[in-house]
Amino acid sequence: MASKPMFNIKRKVPVSLLGLILFNVVLFVGLSFLSPTFLTIRNIQSLMLRMSELSMLTLAQTLVMIGGGMDLTVGSVMALSGAIAGMLFRAGFNPATVLVCALLGGALVGFLNSFLVVHLKIQSFIATVATNTIIRSVVYLLLKGRVLSAFPKSYVSLGSSYVLGFPILFLAVIAIAVALHLLLRRTALGRSIYAAGANEQCAHISGIHVNYVKYFIFTMSGILSAIGGIMYTMRIGAIIPDAGLNSPLEVVTAVLIGGASVRGGKGSVLGSLLGILAMYVLLNGFSLLGLSSFWEVIMLGVVLIAIVGQGNKKQIVKMSRFSRRKAL
């Protein structure tokens, strides 16, 4: 870090979880003033519903990024599990078998990713770029490039049913998120995921089976994305071969906004969910205000660079302070 960072404005308030919560609140208040339809029960309910499958992908990505990797297959695994579910339903299997097979499909892809990362030592970003192209093609081959809507009525109606006004899918997301949060913060496995992500060598020397941790996070990411696929088919009642084509990038952005780092070891379930919430509220607001949704894409890019840039600068300042102290 020999060259000086160009902007030397010291920012006192870090964009932490508090900032993210504040951002969401401001967004909610601002939009309910600007658009009369925003703060209606109907709109909020549909917002929760539409968020559900992408929230699952966000949880998957959070787990992987805390462990120091990146999983770009989340979108194609979502499509794959939806396609498997659709095909098995069409073939007349009972729902339990269908769900298990869809989840197994996701787990298998996750396992394959972790194999590439652990044994062939391929950087997870590149490995999942490769598996992503493969899985997406497999989805196209399975569906023959067409939309499949052979889902039973009782299955699809789950996607549009509510408990106490909350969509069931949203409640499921919350339940899984709480479980994942407890796993990450309260168990030894969770601690070792953070440790392996922060410093692999160090974690290895401290007696953590880094390879097992990697197997766990990628396989779990596959399973969580597969759940996302099941939610997708429940909500839409069909599976489109292009489902989740852009979601890996959206999801990575949400996780980074939520406080994770591309270098691993950082991030939280709550932060990531707030990140994806902010993105969806923005998108919803833009469409309610009649603005082009492409502005949302532009803003996503700006926010991504700004937030990660700021986090990095703080780290650099911290590092240079530390090295100065060491030098003295």
Summarize as ranges the residues that interact with other proteins (CB under 8 A): 1-3, 5-7, 116, 120-123, 125-127, 129-134, 136-138, 140-141, 145, 249, 252-253, 256, 262, 292, 294-298, 300-302, 304-305, 308-309, 312-313, 316
Residue 10: CB minimum distance to other proteins, A: 15
Residue 102: CB minimum distance to other proteins, A: 20
Residue 92: CB minimum distance to other proteins, A: 26
Alpha-carbon span 223 to 59, nearest angstrom? 11
Residue 300: CB minimum distance to other proteins, A: 5
Nearer to other proteins, 212 or 286 (CB): 286
Is residue 105 within 8 A of residue 168, CB to CB? The reply is no
| CB-based contacts of 36, cutoff 8 Å, min separation 6 | none
Nearer to other proteins, 100 or 126 (CB): 126
**Three-state secondary-structure class, residue 167:** strand
- Among 14, 24, 76, 38, smallest CA distance to 254 is for 24
Alpha-carbon span 45 to 290, nearest angstrom? 20
Q: Which amino acid belongs to residue 1?
A: M
**Three-state secondary-structure class, residue 166:** strand
- Among 242, 276, 245, 231, smallest CA distance to 258 is for 276
Nearer to other proteins, 7 or 322 (CB): 7
Residue 68: CB minimum distance to other proteins, A: 13
* Cα radius of gyration rounded to whole Å, the chain: 21
Count CB neighbours of 71 within 10 A. 34
The number of angstroms, rounded, from the C-alpha of 27 to the middle of its chain's C-alpha atoms is 21
State the chain's maximal CA–CA distance in angstroms.
73
DSSP string, 24-41: HHHHHHHHHHH-TTTTSH
Nearer to other proteins, 159 or 265 (CB): 265
Residue 101: CB minimum distance to other proteins, A: 21
Nearer to other proteins, 26 or 305 (CB): 305
Q: Dihedral through CA 248, CA 250, CA 254, CA 257, nearest 10?
A: 110
| CB-based contacts of 101, cutoff 8 Å, min separation 6 | 84, 85, 88, 93
- Among 251, 309, 249, smallest CA distance to 56 is for 251
Nearer to other proteins, 133 or 157 (CB): 133
Nearer to other proteins, 31 or 252 (CB): 252
Residue 151: CB minimum distance to other proteins, A: 23
Nearer to other proteins, 130 or 171 (CB): 130
Nearer to other proteins, 127 or 278 (CB): 127
Residue 323: CB minimum distance to other proteins, A: 13
Residue 253: CB minimum distance to other proteins, A: 8
Tokens of 7: 């902007």
